[in-house]
Amino acid sequence: MQLSNVFMLFGGLALFLYGMHMMSTGLEVAAGNRLKGILEKLTSNRLLGVLVGALITAAVQSSSATTVMTVGFVNSGLMTLNQAVGVIMGANIGTTITGQLIALDVGVIAPMIAFIGVALITFLKGKKVQCAGQIIAGLGILFLGMDLMGTAMEPLRESQAFIQLMTQFKNPLLGILAGALFTAVIQSSSASIGILQTLAAGGLIGIDSAVFVLFGQNIGTCITALIASVGTNRNAKRTTIIHLLFNVIGTVVFVGVCMLLPFTDWIAALTPNNTPAQLANIHTIFNVVTTLLLFPFGNLLAKLAQKILPVKASEKSEDQEMHLAFANEHNVGSTAIVIDSLRHEEERMLHIARDNVAQSFETLLNGTDTDLDKVNRNEEYLDYLNTEITRYISQQSSFAMSDADSATISALFDISGNIERIGDHATNMAEYVRMFQEKHMQLSERAQNELRELADITLRALNRISILEEGDRTGMLQEVHDLEAKTDELKIKFRNNQIEALKEGSCTTEVCVIYTEMLTDIERMLDHTLNIAQALGGETPEFTA
C-alpha cells in the first residue's frame, strides 16, 4: 500500500467525519432548544423514546452524537436516567441506517446528493432550507468519504500479510478487541463499520471473521460518550454505563448464537454475493434484537447502572444545587442544554436576590444589623454567579444555533446582569442601617410605613417573575409594569413628604439625604425587575443603568 493510498484513506475518513458533523450542525440549528420540548413530550414513554433516539441518529448518522446528547440532557436535568434508556436503545437502531445505505451503494449518487445540499445552502436564503441543505450536503460528503476510503484500500487485496491478519479475527475475542479498539480510536462506529464493509466487499475479510469485529465496533462506539461524561454528575455517568451494558450484553448473546448456530450462513443466504449487505443486516439484527431483549428490563438496566455507580451521601445535595451543565458545539442538543442550564441558574439567582431584598427591608425596619453578613454573603454569591454565567455564555458563542435561540441566550445574558444589579441595590439598602446606628439616627414612623408599602410592591413584582415557568408572559409583564409605574409615583410623593418634614424640622438633613438614596435604590430595583419581565416577554428593556 503506497503512501498516496494512506493519505487517501485518511482524507476519506476526514470527509466521512466532517459529513457527520455537518449533519449534526444542521439538525442542531433546525431544532435547537425545541429538542427540549420534543423530548419532554416523547421520552415519558420508553417506546417513543426508542423512536426518538432512532430518528435523531438516522438524521445525523451517528449514535455517538445521540448518546452524547443524552448524557448532556441527563446531566442538565432535562431527562431522567429511565428516559435515557429508551433513547440509547433507539440510537443503536438508528445507527444501522448508515450500513444499510452503504450496502445499497448510495455512494454512486453521493456527488449528486452533495451538489443538491450545497445548491440549497448557496442559492436559497431561508434558514430552514439552509439547515436542510446542510444535512443533505453532509450526507453526500459522508458517502464521498466512504468511496474514497474504499478506493484507498483496493491495493490491500494483493497483500497476503493483510489478508492473513484478517483471518485471525475468526477468534471471537481478537475480533471483538480489534473492532472495539479501532472504533474507539476514530470515535465513529458508522465509519468503522463502513470500512469493515469495504474490506468485506474487496474479499479481504470473510463474514465469519467480520461478524466478531462488528460486535466489537458496537462496544467501541461507547468511548465517545464515556469521554463526554468526564466532569458530569453521577447520573450522566450512569447513562454511559447503560450504553456500554447494552452493547456488551448484546455482544455476549450474539457471540453465543454465532458459536452454537450457523447464524452467519443464514444471513449470507438472504443476500448471496453481497458481503456489505450481509454485514449491514447482521448489524441491524444485532441492535433490533438486543433492544427487544432488553426493552422490558429498562428499569433494571438503570438500577444496575446505579449499583455500578452507587448513590453517594453527597449526591442529593449535588443534585439539589444546579450547576451550569457542560455542552459541546459539535453535539446535537447543545443549545437546549445551554438554555435550560442558564434558566435554572438564573432562577436560583432570582431567589437569592429576592431573599436579599426582603432581608434588606427587614433590616432597615428593625434597625438591627444581625443579618447584614448574610446579605453580603448572598451578594458575593450573586456576583460570582453573574460572572460565571457571563463566562459560560461567552464560551458558547461559537455554537451554531437559530436566530430565535440566539435571541433567547442574549435575553438570558441581560437577565443575569439585571438580577445582579437588584442584589447590589438590596445590599445598599441593608448597609444604610449601619449609618443610622453610627450616627444614632432613626426613621420616622411615617417613613417606616412608606418603606413597608414599597417593600410590598417590590416583593410582589419579584414574586410575579419566573424564569423557568413559561406561562402568561403578557400578563406578567403588564403587572410588573404597573407596579414599577406605581413605585415611580410613590417615590415622588414620599420624597416630597420628606422635604415637608425637613421644612417642619421633624427630620434632619442627613436623614433626608439617606432616605432619598433609599428611594432611588428601590426605584432602581423595580427598573431592573421590569427589565427582566421585558426580556422574558420578548421586549427590549427600557432601563439600562
Is 478 part of a structural domain of the chain?
Answer: yes
How many CB atoms neighbour CB 155 within 10 A? 14
Q: Are 339 and 405 in contact (CB under 8 A)?
A: yes
Please provide residue 33's backbone torsions phi and psi, each rounded to the nearest 5 degrees. Answer: -70, -15
Instruction: Choose one of 317, 346, 374: the last residue of a domain.
Output: 317
Shared domain for 50 and 180, answered yes or no, is: yes
Shared domain for 405 and 446, answered yes or no, is: yes
Torsion, Cα 489 490 491 493, to 10 degrees, reads 90
Supply the DSSP symbol for 458: H
Shared domain for 287 and 420, answered yes or no, is: no
Q: Are 16 and 52 in contact (CB under 8 A)?
A: no
Q: Are 382 and 419 in contact (CB under 8 A)?
A: yes
Nearest-angstrom CA–CA distance, 134 and 59: 12
What is the domain extent for residue 506?
334-536
- Chain centroid to CA 354: how far? 28
Handedness of CA 356, 357, 362, 368 (dihedral sign): positive
How many CB atoms neighbour CB 456 within 10 A? 12
Shared domain for 278 and 355, answered yes or no, is: no
Shared domain for 123 and 229, answered yes or no, is: yes
Instruction: Choose one of 317, 350, 374: the last residue of a domain.
Output: 317
Q: Which residues of 212-242 are buried (b: 16+ CB within 10 A; e: fewer)?
A: bbbbbbbbbbbbbbbebbeebbbbbbbbbbb
Shared domain for 175 and 277, answered yes or no, is: yes
Shared domain for 310 and 338, answered yes or no, is: no
Nearest-angstrom CA–CA distance, 187 and 181: 10
Residue 470: helix, strand or coil by DSSP? coil
For 269-398, strand residue ranges (E) read: none
Shared domain for 25 and 126, answered yes or no, is: yes
Q: Are 373 and 442 in contact (CB under 8 A)?
A: no
Instruction: Choose one of 269, 291, 317: the last residue of a domain.
Output: 317
pLDDT digit string (tens) for the chain, length 545 residues: 578 878 888 888 888 888 877 887 787 777 666 666 666 666 667 888 888 888 888 877 777 778 877 887 787 677 788 888 888 899 889 888 878 887 877 777 889 989 999 999 888 888 788 888 988 898 888 888 877 877 887 776 667 776 676 677 788 898 899 888 888 887 777 778 888 888 888 788 888 888 999 999 889 888 877 877 776 778 888 888 999 999 999 999 999 999 899 998 999 998 888 888 999 999 999 999 999 999 999 889 888 988 888 866 555 444 434 456 555 554 666 777 788 888 888 998 999 999 999 999 988 888 777 778 888 888 998 998 898 888 888 877 666 677 778 888 889 999 999 999 999 999 998 888 888 888 788 888 888 899 999 999 999 999 999 888 777 788 889 999 999 999 999 999 988 888 888 888 777 888 888 888 999 999 999 999 999 999 988 776 665 55
Give the chain's domain count: 2
Shared domain for 471 and 389, answered yes or no, is: yes
- Chain centroid to CA 18: how far? 21
Is 327 part of a structural domain of the chain?
Answer: no
CATH number for 495:
1.20.58.220
Helices and strands in the chain: count of H runs, count of E runs:
24, 0
Nine-digit cell at 306?
A: 446505579
Shared domain for 410 and 485, answered yes or no, is: yes
Q: Could you tell me the pTM of the whole model?
A: 0.68
Shared domain for 18 and 67, answered yes or no, is: yes
